[in-house]
Structure 1
Amino acid sequence: MYKKEIEEYIEAHKQEMLDDICTLCRINSEKMPYKEGMPFGPGAFEALTEALSISESYGFSINNYDNYVGTVDLNDKETQLDILAHLDVVPAGEGWKETEPFNPIVKNGKLFGRGSSDDKGPAVAALYALRAVKDLNIPLSKNVRLILGTDEECGSSDIAHYYSVEKEAPMTFSPDGAFPVVNTEKGGLAGHFTAEWEASGELPKIVKLEAGLKVNVVPGKVFATVAGVEEALLKKFADETQVTTGIRYEIEMMGDQGIITAIGEGAHASTPEEGNNALTGLLYYLLKLPLAECPQVTMLRRLHDLIPHGDTSGKSLGIAMGDEISGDLTLAFSLLKVTDTGLEGTFDSRCPICSNEENVLQVVKKNMEDKGFTLHNDSMRPPHHVDGNSEFVKTLLQVYETYTGRKGECISMGGGTYVHDLKNGVAFGASMPETDNRMHGADEFAVVEELVVSAKIFAQVIVDLCS
């Protein structure tokens, strides 16, 4: 019911929807230091304020939960369905070519810009789904609430704040994954570890290494400074190592110190195999240099043995595993700081349903301790799974099939979404299964027609679940 009306409405408002997405994508809403009344900084605050203002201008009732979360209600009835989206973004990062990160453009059927696919584009698509149902005067017996968060990329404390005062809806989906339906999300271990040693004055040596943006981002560009190695030798090893790693190494001399820039390809930490980790590539390069033997070099060599370049499965840490429902464990080495007397690092591991603290956490802890590292984690995030045969999930799949002509099926993902800790929450859209929209990487984009069909699908889901 109402398919023709929904399709015509969304097509008629397509350009307006893209304009609203671009308005939000121009705002750098990455997490910033707290300011009074702005729990995640001015960027996230501005994005939330703007999104709520847009929603209110379309006649919706809005609510602001202490600038953590904003909500948009379709009506004043009992809520049947929550749609969870987020307005914060990961840092812009390096390597953008199609446009500047916060200067969104539409080009060749794609909307480029940070947040276009993760998750401002899908959030606005969901808003237009609500708008279509409202403006078409489609009768509903239940309410739908669009929930707009601002801290999804850095721990989801915003949603924890929201659910401390509001109850979970009977059904929830987040347009922050992929179609058809993601009913399984892997668990996670963000492994934080340290090591300490005595300083050494011997040359050649590593002076400084501080790499990575966020725990859930595969580093695409990192830097290190070394002392006591001639420029010709640095360049010789750079050329040789690039052949092995696929990483490009740039050398700049400042006196007797060489600044090495390792350039790989960033990616989302849930799919590390889609990038080329500049951090592990930099370690590989540094350990090829004729550095003076010292505790620092010894520990970096041990670290690279545990997480070598190209190992995205956790094999060297002893935790490679997988299952039929959720696939293989993945591992991304994302953050590292090295000084004269110690190091601090973090890796991001996405763990399948067959994982648990005994076969992942305890194994990593022991294997790192055997090499002289201290793992500081006492727990890990369990995997999430919703029954694929529930009426809720079957309805989502049926609507997807109706609007795309594709087969609907349940899939698993490594990325965690807002629904991970909700009893009846799944990820649903807003990209097609084959689309790699460079989420968390340079030149992030959303396919325009995928946003359009997502808005149509979401509107139909609202009608089917809430009439």
Structure 2
Amino acid sequence: MKLDGKTLRLVNGYLAERRADVVRDLSRLIRVPSVRSDPEPGAPYGAACLAGLSEAIALFRENGFDAKASEGNYYGIATYGEGDRSVGLFGHTDVVPVGDGWEYCPPFEPAEIDGCLVGRGSVDNKAAIVISLYVMRAVRDLSLPIGGKLVAFIGAAEETGMEDVASFVRENPMPDFSLVPDNDYPVSLGEKGICRFYVRSRDRFSDILSFAGGLAFNVVLDRAEITLRADSAVARALPGAIAG
């Protein structure tokens, strides 16, 4: 299918008419506090992540699409269309820990402010789930000839190791082409990885008794704490930090 100007205007009009529905559905997903926790039977990433996955699957089903969780609830898949060729739409419902300092609203009580929806997961990455849903709806409702099928992947462990994707790859044929709506424009062709490392020192950092910050590897720290020896040169150099 060639996306000409007429078709693009048709799709844009379709989505504009459903803006309130998009906000409603995204808010529904944001309200689920889907932060990973200890595994439970049938919930490999914890009960909250299973709740987020289940809510997204329910959303696709309510809109008339074939959607289901994998065996063991590691991920979900929603599909539309027929044919051997497929386009993958990848998103995830899990989120990083919330931390402190939420100024505009509680993290799982979304609020629309100046045309933007604020809440944990509003961009990363529950928006991608709703984007995938409305792409599939537009293709179906406007009878757009895509010449294949759409496969929406619903992840539940992207923030903590991507075991969900690994399970998907083992159990399913890979789409011929995939889109990951997990970033801003322009379109990217890849993403840098994350380097996790641990530092241990016996001498050079001996004045540091402990140091900690943040709630996860892949988030910007909202605060950090350090415990120093009171007689250390570093502690004495901190203005007003230590008296006497």
TM-score, normalised relative to structure 2? 0.86
In the alignment, the residues of structure 2 paired with residue 104 and residue 50 of structure 1 have an alpha-carbon distance, to the nearest angstrom, of 16
In the alignment, the residues of structure 2 paired with residue 16 and residue 238 of structure 1 have an alpha-carbon distance, to the nearest angstrom, of 54
Alignment correspondent of 2:195 = 189
- Provide Cα deviations, 1:227-252, integer angstroms capped at 9, x if missing partner: 758xxxx899356xxxxxxxxxxx7x
Alignment correspondent of 1:159 = 165
Q: Is the 8 A contact 2:77 2:154 kept in 1?
A: yes
Q: Is the 8 A contact 1:24 1:47 kept in 2?
A: yes
Alignment correspondent of 1:13 = 18
Q: Is the 8 A contact 1:100 1:113 kept in 2?
A: yes
Alignment correspondent of 2:142 = 136
By how many angstroms is 1:177 displaced? 1.7
In the alignment, the residues of structure 2 paired with residue 192 and residue 224 of structure 1 have an alpha-carbon distance, to the nearest angstrom, of 16
In the alignment, the residues of structure 1 paired with residue 96 and residue 75 of structure 2 have an alpha-carbon distance, to the nearest angstrom, of 18
- Secondary structure of 2:32's counterpart equals coil
Q: Is the 8 A contact 2:34 2:93 kept in 1?
A: yes
Q: Which letter maps to 2:214?
A: G
Q: Is the 8 A contact 1:118 1:176 kept in 2?
A: yes
| Change in CA separation of 1:64 and 1:237 when aligned onto 2, cut-off 3 Å | same
In the alignment, the residues of structure 2 paired with residue 235 and residue 54 of structure 1 have an alpha-carbon distance, to the nearest angstrom, of 58
- Secondary structure of 1:3's counterpart equals helix
* Unmatched segments (≥5 aa) in structure 2: none
| Change in CA separation of 1:207 and 1:187 when aligned onto 2, cut-off 3 Å | closer
In the alignment, the residues of structure 2 paired with residue 177 and residue 98 of structure 1 have an alpha-carbon distance, to the nearest angstrom, of 22
Q: 2:186 aligns with which of 180, 184, 187?
A: 180
Q: Is the 8 A contact 2:90 2:128 kept in 1?
A: no
Q: Is the 8 A contact 2:105 2:111 kept in 1?
A: yes
Structure with larger Rg:
1
By how many angstroms is 1:37 displaced? 0.4
Q: 2:69 aligns with which of 64, 69, 88?
A: 64
- Provide Cα deviations, 1:3-42, integer angstroms capped at 9, x if missing partner: 2321221111110111110111011111111011001111
In the alignment, the residues of structure 1 paired with residue 193 and residue 210 of structure 2 have an alpha-carbon distance, to the nearest angstrom, of 33
By how many angstroms is 1:211 displaced? 2.5
Q: Which letter maps to 2:225?
A: F
Higher-RCO chain (CA-CA 8 Å, sequence separation at least 6):
1
By how many angstroms is 1:75 displaced? 1.9
- Secondary structure of 1:85's counterpart equals strand
Alignment correspondent of 1:98 = 104
Q: Which letter maps to 2:180?
A: S
Q: Is the 8 A contact 2:56 2:129 kept in 1?
A: no
1:213 aligns with 2:211: no
Give % identity: 28
1:53 aligns with 2:86: no
Q: Is the 8 A contact 1:32 1:41 kept in 2?
A: yes
1:23 aligns with 2:28: yes
In the alignment, the residues of structure 1 paired with residue 227 and residue 194 of structure 2 have an alpha-carbon distance, to the nearest angstrom, of 32
Q: Which letter maps to 1:74?
A: Y
Moved over 6 A (4+): none
By how many angstroms is 1:171 displaced? 0.7
- Secondary structure of 2:89's counterpart equals strand
1:237 aligns with 2:238: yes
| Change in CA separation of 1:58 and 1:143 when aligned onto 2, cut-off 3 Å | same
TM-score, normalised relative to structure 1? 0.46
| Change in CA separation of 1:153 and 1:131 when aligned onto 2, cut-off 3 Å | same
Q: 1:110 aligns with which of 107, 116, 137?
A: 116
By how many angstroms is 1:61 displaced? 0.6
Q: Which has the higher strand share?
A: 1
Alignment correspondent of 1:330 = none
By how many angstroms is 1:191 displaced? 2.2
